[in-house]
Structure 1
Amino acid sequence: MPIAPDKTKLYPNENIKTVCYIKNLPAKPNVEIGDYTYYSDNKNPPENFYECIQHHYEFLGDKLIIGKFCAVAEGVTFIMNGANHRMDGITTYPFNIFGGGWEKAAPAVEQLPFKGDTVVGNDVWIGQKVTIMPGVKIGDGAIIAANATVTKNVEPYAIVGGNPARLIKKRFSDEMIELLLKLQWWNWDEQKIFNNLALLVSGNDIVTVKKLLVN
């Protein structure tokens, strides 16, 4: 009896071609994806996930890092640091990219706004048509509501939505969140996950989490 889908397959369920494990796409520089994280797209082949990452230029060095067991819905856009314009002058217009003599205004890399890596934690659910801005950090267990624009960091196990995205509520109490961050179930081996599936999908109380912590 199998205890887990094959995490090395692009399509974990051959009967569902709208969902793929992102990690099994061809490698892309400065993109790191955790095990079991999937992209779902009902309109386009899900293997086109990399089209969701925009303005990502290798020479800038910024990374998109997504943890394990994340769910990424169709229409999500990760805007990376290459989209930024210089903002310390009279104008933000990028004269240099058009040439014709204007290239003399090319800014040095250090003159461009740079927000760092974009990091999505583990067990994060990102809804349809979400936009995530450069350098945002999204904590473990967070939920991003559909159509949200995420402009600042999201705390673990928070639910955010809107444009710009704001806190709607925390999924659990502070004590529960602290315990879940210690639990880190996404780092368990496949057998332990299989043995505790019922609790993982329905357990939502402190007693259950404490029990899992000692098992």
Structure 2
Amino acid sequence: MKTSNITLGKDVIVDSTTSINNVTIQDNVKIAKYCSIYGSESNILEIGSETYIGMFSIINGFSEKVIIGNNVSIAQNVNIMSDSGPNASSEMQKYFPLIKGKVVIGDHCWIGANVVIMPNVTLSEFCVVAANSFVNSSFPPYSVIGGNPAKLIKTITK
């Protein structure tokens, strides 16, 4: 495993089974077992302070920027991707072109288990994503979303 471009804040805990590369991680972040979290030299993945990332999660910021805010809770087996498509087949790409785009997860979001977040998605602050959801569009602050594809279930009121 190649590791480079890693900046860690204070009191960051990354399990030894997890792979990270081309990331900036702020203070007091905890990353559980068997995760793969990476950006690229031109797209450094950013994780804000006090964030937790659960086991078996994949955060792919290779093709475009991925920014995860402060105090974000990400459950196990979550897949956040900045690109998607049949990258091994230029013939298949004629039918299903590669999709690339920035992903932003706002402060205080809670992402449930087994969620997939596609490219070009912004979840504004205080969004909640129900377990097993497929998120392919953006949502405003205080949204509770779920389903395949994810839809607004309700808005949290202060």
The CA deviation string for residues 149-178 of structure 1, in whole angstroms up to 9 with x for no partner, is 001001110000010001110011xxx4xx
1:53 aligns with 2:59: yes
RMSD: 3.2
Q: Kindly state the Cα deviation for residue 27 of structure 1 after the two structures are TM-superposed.
A: 7.6
2:90 corresponds to which residue? Answer: 95
Q: Kindly state the Cα deviation for residue 132 of structure 1 after the two structures are TM-superposed.
A: 0.2
- Larger strand fraction of residues: 2
1:39 aligns with 2:53: yes
Q: Using a 3 Å threshold, how does the CA distance of structure 1 residues 130 and 35 change in structure 2: closer, same or farther?
A: same
Residues of 1 paired with 2:119 and 2:38: CA distance? 21
User: Could you state the TM-score of these two structures normalised by the residue count of structure 2?
Assistant: 0.67
1:116 corresponds to which residue? Answer: 101
User: Could you state the TM-score of these two structures normalised by the residue count of structure 1?
Assistant: 0.51
- After superposition, where does 1:138-177 map in structure 2 within 5 Å? 138-172=123-157, 176=158
Q: Using a 3 Å threshold, how does the CA distance of structure 1 residues 85 and 27 change in structure 2: closer, same or farther?
A: closer
Runs of 5+ unmatched residues, structure 2: 1-8, 15-28
Q: Kindly state the Cα deviation for residue 85 of structure 1 after the two structures are TM-superposed.
A: 5.1
- Larger helix fraction of residues: 1
Q: Using a 3 Å threshold, how does the CA distance of structure 1 residues 95 and 113 change in structure 2: closer, same or farther?
A: closer
Aligned AA (2:52) = Y
- After superposition, where does 1:1-215 map in structure 2 within 5 Å? 8-11=10-13, 21-22=30-31, 28-29=39-40, 30=43, 31-41=45-55, 49=57, 52-54=58-60, 56-57=61-62, 60=63, 62-81=64-83, 83-84=84-85, 94-95=89-90, 113-172=98-157, 176=158
Q: For this pair of structures, how many residues does the alignment match?
A: 128
Runs of 5+ unmatched residues, structure 1: 1-6, 13-19, 87-92, 98-105, 177-215
Aligned AA (1:164) = P
User: Is the radius of gyration larger for structure 1 or structure 2?
Assistant: 1
Contact 2:48 2:70 in 1 (8 A): yes
The CA deviation string for residues 80-137 of structure 1, in whole angstroms up to 9 with x for no partner, is 22x2359xxxxxx82379xxxxxxxx99xxxx55552100100000000000011100
